[in-house]
Amino acid sequence: MNGEGAAHDIDARLKAYEGRAAVSAGIGKDLVNEPMIRHWCEAMGDTNPAYEGPHAVAPPTMLQAWTMGGLSGHTGRSEAYDELLALLDGAGYTSVVATDCEQEYLRPLRPGDAITFDAVIESVSERKTTKLGTGHFVTTRMDIRAGGEPAGTHRFRILKYAPAARPSRQPETSRKPETRRPRPVINRDNAGFWEGVAEHRLLIQRCGTCATLRFPWLPGCNACGSQRWDTVEASGSGTVFSYVVMHHPPFPAFDPPYAVGLIELAEGVRMVSNVIGVPYDKVRIGMPVTLTFLRVDEELELPVFRAGGED
Ligand code: ZN
């Protein structure tokens, strides 16, 4: 069989896994419980009052946490899923990276809820070539129930791939000049922010219910849960609340050492940005800074902060 035929043959074998179980009759290792909710909220810095007290619900985004196997392994993972991964390994797609997940919430989870779940291999993509290498995306859909009732859906996608050959490491000085800074991920929840940047306006979200300002942009208010919002334009003055100096690891398009600042805006919210106009070792906590827009390349402009108060 020639190469083309072999690729076609494996495509057909992969497709045959669509619709097969990935997990059958999984059982959450713990009931939904307050300590796990508290640890999650502390780790996330989420102080929403809905997640504590006698009527607490679990943060919806914890959905997957209740289904995870922990160090002792998966619960109820099917043979079909293991076979699919083995088939991909055998075809040379030995690396794996989680690419994205999507969740849908059908009912709130509360302490005491018993979690059960099933997962299905929803799709196996055709062969795709990405920057990481060539391989197949595998999407699984997990249906999660609480006390037998549908509670949510968690779709999880991985790329099983054969890594692209990497160029050998080059010394800093010969780094390719065309290497570009990473692009921001723009989605429906933060598009307004980037539209503001395009007009040289730094927009902060303001809750339409309790008027709490928030940054970075989020679909809902952490103070009251409301999804209504409008924006206020930042005045552009701020101070360095904290900073780090990056020495390692090296990233393409960044030239270490450089300072990354956590800037407290005059409006009270904080954002991570670059501090420019001052050597990296002269950045100080409390230093006044002023918003400016840095043209990084032909398609990317970023809000950054220049050391010094307003001119
Ligand atoms: Zn609010």
In a domain, 152, yes or no: yes
Same domain, 15 and 158: yes
Instruction: Categorise residue 100: left if φ over 0, alpha if ψ from -120 to 50, beta otherwise.
Output: beta
Q: Answer whether residue 171 shows pLDDT above 60.
A: no
Tokens (6 digits) for 192? 């307004």
**pLDDT value for 169:** 53
Same domain, 134 and 48: yes
**pLDDT value for 167:** 57
42 C-alpha to ligand 1 centroid (Å): 20
Across residues 173-177, what is the average pLDDT?
Answer: 46
In a domain, 183, yes or no: no
In a domain, 172, yes or no: no
In a domain, 173, yes or no: no
Give the pTM. 0.54
Predicted confidence band of residue 216 (pLDDT cuts 50, 70, 90): very high
The count of other CB atoms within 10 Å of the CB of residue 215 is 18
**pLDDT value for 175:** 42
Same domain, 195 and 159: no
Same domain, 72 and 195: no
Same domain, 156 and 197: no
Same domain, 147 and 208: no
**pLDDT value for 172:** 44
269 C-alpha to ligand 1 centroid (Å): 14
In a domain, 257, yes or no: yes
50 C-alpha to ligand 1 centroid (Å): 12
Question: CB of 193 within 8 A of CB of 203?
Answer: yes
Alpha carbon distance 252, 170 (integer Å): 11
Same domain, 37 and 143: yes
Question: Hey, which residues does 203 pair with through a beta bridge?
Answer: 233
| Total tally of structural domains belonging to the chain | 2
51 C-alpha to ligand 1 centroid (Å): 15
192 C-alpha to ligand 1 centroid (Å): 18
Pairing assessment for the beta strands 300-307 and 270-276 based on DSSP bridges? parallel
Which residues have CB under 8 Å from 58's CB, separation 6+? 32, 37, 51, 66, 108, 109, 110, 111
Predicted confidence band of residue 74 (pLDDT cuts 50, 70, 90): low
For 138-152, 158-172, 206-220, which range has the lowest pLDDT when averaged over its residues?
A: 158-172
Question: Hey, which residues does 295 pair with through a beta bridge?
Answer: 301
Range of the domain at 246: 191-307
Across residues 74-99, what is the average pLDDT?
Answer: 87
In a domain, 265, yes or no: yes
214 C-alpha to ligand 1 centroid (Å): 9
Same domain, 17 and 144: yes
The count of other CB atoms within 10 Å of the CB of residue 167 is 7
Across residues 6-32, what is the average pLDDT?
Answer: 87
Residue among 163, 93, 170 at smallest CA distance from 124: 93
Alpha carbon distance 232, 202 (integer Å): 8
Question: Hey, which residues does 243 pair with through a beta bridge?
Answer: 261
Lateral strand order in the sheet of 203-207:
213-214, 203-207, 229-233
Helices (H), 157-265: 191-198
pLDDT tens digit sequence for 226-271: 999 999 999 999 999 999 999 988 888 888 898 999 999 999 999 9
Contacts 24+ apart (CB under 8 A), 275-283: 275/240, 275/243, 275/304, 275/305, 275/306, 275/307, 276/304, 276/305, 276/306, 276/307, 277/306, 277/307, 277/308, 278/307, 280/245, 281/245, 281/257, 282/307, 283/240, 283/243, 283/245, 283/259, 283/307
To which H or E segment does residue 289 belong? strand 288-297
Same domain, 10 and 150: yes
Same domain, 8 and 115: yes
Question: CB of 136 within 8 A of CB of 127?
Answer: yes
In a domain, 217, yes or no: yes
Same domain, 67 and 149: yes
233 C-alpha to ligand 1 centroid (Å): 18
209 C-alpha to ligand 1 centroid (Å): 5
In a domain, 184, yes or no: no
Same domain, 43 and 124: yes
Provide the CATH number for the domain around residue 36: 3.10.129.10
206 C-alpha to ligand 1 centroid (Å): 8
